[in-house]
Amino acid sequence: MHKKLLVIVVSLISFSSFSQQLYMELGSTLSSFDYENSQGLPLDNLLSTSKSYFGMGYRQVINNEKTLFLALGASYNNYGAIGSENSIDNFFEWDVSYLGVRAGLDYKLFQLRDLSFFAKGSIASEFLIRGNQIINNDVFNLVGEEEFNNNILFLRLGVGLQYPISNSTAIFSGYSYGKSVLINSGENAEKLKLNAHQFGIGFIINLPNCFCDF
């Protein structure tokens, strides 16, 4: 895990040399799990839970019209779900945290005075750094478990609003829906996908070498 963290930090520092803007965001994640056991049977009684997320990184204009932006950054996402299986009288709860690196594009759809509207898309590679599973009254640590401890790819689409509050800073808010690529669960042949609705707010700050407006 330490090697992966080092790669993230070095990548962000390297990108900062030619980046124009820094962004930071935080918000809430409403997550749910799509789960199938080793017999291919779904667990139908899974309910969504609300967790938090945090992200930061760099943003770069990549076209002359200044409508398309490349964003690279790191994220810390918390996901969870609760459920039950009445046939065997079991209660389940998952609480997991993933650290990820993300690349995305922001496209400015239109602008009303100072308020800009964006369409957003991103792909992220995330890996588990903390996780617990509760089955009835028993708590299990998921770190190191094959079912959860592999990297996942997360695809997200969303929309956002941006409004300048000074010559160098803008505030933004946004919504995105994301879905993970299938998480393989090895020998047990279990299948798990994560779904996440994210609502967030944050800031965009022009770096000193950035001569850009909002």
Task: Give the whole-angstrom CA distance, residue 132 versus residue 95.
Answer: 5
Q: How far is CA 156 from CA 25, 65, 119, in A?
A: 15, 25, 11
User: pTM, whole model, 2 decimals?
Assistant: 0.82
- Spans of all domains in the chain: 2-206
Mean pLDDT of 137-148: 75
Q: Is the pLDDT of residue 16 over 50?
A: no
Task: Count other C-beta atoms under 10 Å from residue 77's C-beta.
Answer: 24
Task: Give the residue-averaged pLDDT of 118-133.
Answer: 92
Backbone angles phi, psi at 12, to 5 degrees: -70, -40
Q: Among 77, 73, 24, which residue's Cα sits nearest to residue 196?
A: 77
**pLDDT beyond 90 at 20:** no
Alpha helix positions (H), the chain: 2-16
Q: Does domain 2-206 have CATH number 2.40.160.20?
A: yes
% the chain with pLDDT above 90:
48
- pLDDT tens, residue by residue, 35-69: 776 677 777 778 889 999 999 999 988 888 889 99
Rounded Cα–Cα distance for residues 115 and 117 (Å): 7
Tokens coding 106: 């922001």
Gap between the Cα atoms of 171 and 64, Å rounded: 23
How much of the chain exceeds pLDDT 70, in percent? Answer: 78
